[in-house]
Amino acid sequence: MLSRLLLAATAAAAAALAQGDQTIGATIDSQGVTRLYGNSFGRPGYNVTYDYIIVGGGNAGNTIAARLALDPANYTVAIVESGSFYEITAGNRTQVPGLGFIETQSFPAGIGPSLTLFDIITEPQAGYNGRKIDYLQGQTLGGSTASNGMAYHRATEGTFEQWSELVGDDFWSWDKVYAAYKKSCTFSPPDFTKIDESLNITWDSAAFDQNGGLLHVSYGNYQGPFGPYMDAALEKTGMSHIEGLNSGKLIGYGALTVTVDPRTATRSSSETSFLQAAAQGSSIKIYPNALAKRITFDGDKKATGIDVQMNSATANKVYHLGARKEVIVSAGAWHSPQLLMVSGIGPADTLKKNGIDVLVDLPGVGQNEEVGIRPSRRSALSLTQSQDQPTVPAMFKVNITTFTQIVRENPEVTAKAVDDYLNSQSGPFSGVGAGQGIGFEKLPESYRKEYSNATLQFLDGFPKDWPEVEWLTYESAAGIGDIGPDDNFLTFGGVMLTTASKGNMTISSADMLDPPVISPNWLVDDKDLEQAYSIFMRLREIASYSSIMQEEVYPGPSLSGKEAIIDWLRNNMGYIFHAACTCKMGREDDNMAVVDSRSRVRGVTGLRVVDASAFPSLPPGHPMSTVYMFAERIAESILEGN
């Protein structure tokens, strides 16, 4: 059934693209001139010089590349990406929102995520009882925006008060980043001819610019029926409803916006939005299937370009792309620091060990160094690196309809879902399987009183509006072996947003073809174990207030006792692929900072890092919107001459 759906959805996607403004092929501009999409591609194997070279065509890379290329100054810009177009390599799984969600629950062995993602195996994780984790990161034009859950919400006002203090620059104050958040997207309110109006979805229209931006943000064209029931459960446990999650406030519950273009019911990524706009409206050159091997420098330590290796049958061919102005690294939390290190920027001992000449000794590249807690707002995050968000999962049998029967390939249910998607861009495949029953909170005093003084002091270092946990409901039946014809399931999880454990990465060689050595270090700090246990107990409390949750099927009610629960958490806690801060931004007096407040790499010129690796701290919740904003702000800084 799903194989037939793939064929049918191919036609739907093609028709959808024809209805929208996304075109791969030829277009006629306003002057009547034919523009060939093929003109947007660089010629591999030839040494060429541009004003700006962007390494990595992901969330940040496509955004900053488009802003520079579309500027009236007519800068020449090249974007170098080791992957290709996800529409080609992975097809409907990446474009159809609900299909991507369903198929990620059962990837075929040896295929699945490898089509558009790096699959890096972590070092054994001590906090996870020695488990090795497949850590996924986008490897395609669009990066992780081509395969993620499409969750779009913004961080809190207090987050950016803290950022400004951490980096010593009010460039990151809330009012300035709020404008950049708005700049990147166009918002579409719910279409209540496709979404049940009784679901009571609310939003703050002031959080979006009426003129709109390139990225599409909406509520999709489908919301499951579980929302009001989960909202009621969150309300009963003390949380309050908020109008939306995009105005600088998160504590409370509401509906989550997603990066779905509701006109076509397809994923809106940095590739479909920013990169395609640049390809149609500028001289940008795209180099897909091209691996940046190293950054080159002149005698004054100015970045002059990159050496590139073709990711093809002629893989040994290396050529050089020059940069007159800057090289901008946007290769993600693991590969940005790797590229710096193989280019001679990083901890001197690590570079020497791998036979790399030291250009700049920067101990903070990819590393983690936790120092004692200080009694100030900067205390929790001021000198830390590599941050991520572990998750506490549980699954429940429910008495309402969810995606479960589509996962089971129930013919009747699936046929209707296909028909809805193809003929009216609605139904389960037009949504992401999540978005309602979303809550953020600081845990109540009844849980906090069990914390050690060290944990309480650590948590007090975060801003007052920074939640400690995100409650996330989604229509997953992953791991359920025998699904009956009337069975329906929901996964309800808690995401830890105030982690004390910090990870790190290093290199295994001087070659970018060799994967980095990564260790997120989840749960290695006892403060996180205390939080994980409390999140698990709070999760069960919230579930007990839900009228639709009939039975806890995972881990099951027989799991009890603090010691047994902690052991289960070590063996079963999840991960959400939100690594950040491995090339963190910081003040001059922070010896672990890699970039300054405008993302310029210390000790050299003409080089920036612009992606989540450069965050001074990982904001609460899902970082995609903040990565877009971050790239917008740095693009603005560059165009202003900074």
Verify whether residue 241 is a known catalytic residue.
Answer: no
Please say whether the beta carbons of 129 and 571 come within 8 A: yes
C-alpha 146/C-alpha 126 separation (Å) is 31
Q: Is 324 exposed, middle or buried (0-12, 13-18, 19+ CB in 10 A)?
A: middle
Contacts of 479 (CB under 8 A, 6+ apart): 395, 554
C-alpha 569/C-alpha 496 separation (Å) is 13
Token code pair at residue 223: 């919301």
**Which whole-number Å values give the CA distances from 149 to 13, 104, 146, 471, 522, in the listed order?**
19, 10, 9, 15, 21
CA dihedral 162, 607, 510, 580 (to 10 degrees): 20
CA dihedral 27, 29, 32, 36 (to 10 degrees): -40
Verify whether residue 335 is a known catalytic residue.
Answer: no
C-alpha 346/C-alpha 252 separation (Å) is 41
Beta bridge partners of 292: 308
For 144, half-sphere exposure in the C-beta direction (CA atoms, 13 angstrom radius) is 27
Omega of the bond prior to 428 within 30 degrees of 0, cis? no
Q: What is the largest CA-CA distance in the chain?
A: 72
C-alpha 539/C-alpha 567 separation (Å) is 17
Produce one character per residue of 555-590: b if its CB has 16 or more CB atoms within 10 Å, e if not: beeebeeeeebbeebbebbbbbbbbbbbbbbbbeeb
C-alpha 57/C-alpha 82 separation (Å) is 8
Closest residue by Cα to residue 234 from 485, 5, 469, 35 = 469
Beta-strand pair 48-55/77-80? parallel
**Which whole-number Å values give the CA distances from 91 to 99, 375, 407, in the listed order?**
11, 51, 19
| Reduced DSSP (H G I as helix, E B as strand, rest coil) percent helix, strand, coil of the chain, to 5 | 30, 20, 45
User: Left (φ > 0), alpha (ψ -120 to 50) or beta: where does 409 sit?
Assistant: left
Closest residue by Cα to residue 53 from 417, 326, 309 = 326
C-alpha 271/C-alpha 541 separation (Å) is 41
**Which whole-number Å values give the CA distances from 209 to 155, 184, 225, in the listed order?**
17, 9, 30
Specify the DSSP element, H or E, that contains 6.
Answer: helix 2-19
**Which whole-number Å values give the CA distances from 22 to 283, 289, 565, 585, 598, in the listed order?**
17, 21, 49, 35, 32
Contacts of 527 (CB under 8 A, 6+ apart): 452, 454, 455, 458, 500
Give the active site residue among 153, 216, 335, 622. Answer: 622
Catalytic center residues:
578, 622
